[in-house]
Structure 1
Amino acid sequence: MNSEHTKTALVLGALSGLRTLSATAVLSHYLRYNSNLKIKNRRLKFLNSAGFALLSKLLATGEIAIDKSPNIPDRVRPGGLSGRTLSGALVGAAIYSINKRRIWKGALIGATSALAATFLSFYTRKQITRNTRIPDQVIGTVEDVIAVGGSVAVLEGDR
């Protein structure tokens, strides 16, 4: 097993724990514009499509905007937690498919990483806002930058 691909699935999964759709949107964008990144599994080929790339970017942008609202349920509640875990599984499976590995292993790595990162980021954000004067929206914006920038960085490093 190539440890680079495992690390990529692990990191993209964790970034899905910060923002559900950012890693998926960045990965789909990369799949559209980098000929060396192609999904091998037919069930995951939708990630290569222009329509999915556009839709995921629009949804990710909406998620970033909505996250700043105080009325949004906590990410550790069942809906947010399951979405982030599924997104982590998807990006992990995709990375393993690209590299002709067993997609279930990538899905497991991505999902586990997303699950752990969801809880870690939730409680870290709560602790920072409780112990500093930094507004929650500022911490959320830092998370946005980490989720999007980290996704780009890990995919650039995996090329």
Structure 2
Amino acid sequence: MNRAILTKLLALSAVTGVRSMAGLAALASARGGPAKPALLVVAATEMFADKSPSIGNRIDPLPLGARALIGGAIGVLVAREAGERVVLGAVLGATTAVVATQIAYDVRRRLPVPSAAGGLLEDALVVAVASRYA
């Protein structure tokens, strides 16, 4: 896998660890199609909902598993589009999403700002990275 494809796969899988729908929304946004509007709405809704105190932890088993699955799907999509091995893409995508989830969770908990402000910082980072690598 060449550097550009690997970087794209890792970047979009990492943003999925921070906001579960961000990587898929970025891919859909870049490619268009019927899923684009729905994925953009779901991603935006997730960013809004993340600031709510009633939202559970992203490192809990169900949200973490979902991020792993979505990260794996991103890996498959990016690898397939580049003519690379999809199994490798899936493993790299899932692993990256899980690792990024834990890192983002730990960093946000340690930020010396309210959680909602930390969430806005995460949102800005996610949007910047996703728009760069989609």
Q: What residue number does 2:17 align with?
A: 17
TM-score under structure 1 length normalisation? 0.81
Q: Match for 1:147 among 109, 126, 129? A: 126
Larger Rg: 1
Which amino acid letter does the alignment assign opposite residue 2 of structure 2? N
* Whole-angstrom distance in 2 between the partners of 1:64 and 1:28: 17
Distance 1:7 1:108 in 2: 14
Q: CA deviation at 1:26?
A: 1.0
Taking only the aligned residue pairs, the percentage that are identical comes to: 28
Where in structure 1 do 4 or more consecutive aligned residues deviate above 6 Å? none
| Deviation of the 1:4 alpha carbon | 1.4
Structure 1 counterpart of 2:105, one-letter code = F
* TM-score (norm. length: structure 2): 0.95
Count matched residues.
Answer: 134
How far apart, in 2, do the equivalents of 1:17 and 1:126 lie? 15
Describe the superposition over 1:82-111 as per-residue Cα deviations: whole angstroms up to 9, x where unpaired. 111111111111111110111111111111
CA RMSD of aligned residues (A): 1.0
- Residue 51 of structure 1 and its aligned partner are, at CA, apart by 2.3
1:23·1:148 contact (CA, 8 Å) conserved in 2? no
**Which amino acid in 2 is paired with 1:140?**
G
Q: Distance in 1 between matches of 2:8 and 2:31?
A: 15
Q: Tell me the distance in 2 between the aligned counterparts of 1:146 and 1:15.
A: 8
Q: Work out whether 1:84 is the aligned partner of 2:67.
A: yes
Q: Any gaps of 5 or more consecutive residues in structure 2?
A: none
Q: Which residue of 2 aligns with 1:2?
A: 2
Which structure 2 residues correspond to residues 109-128 of structure 1 after superposition, within 5 A? 109-128=92-111
Residues 14-46 of structure 1, C-alpha deviations (whole Å, 9 max, x = no match): 1100000011101111112xxxxxxxxxxxxxx
Segments of 5+ residues of structure 1 without an aligned counterpart are 33-49
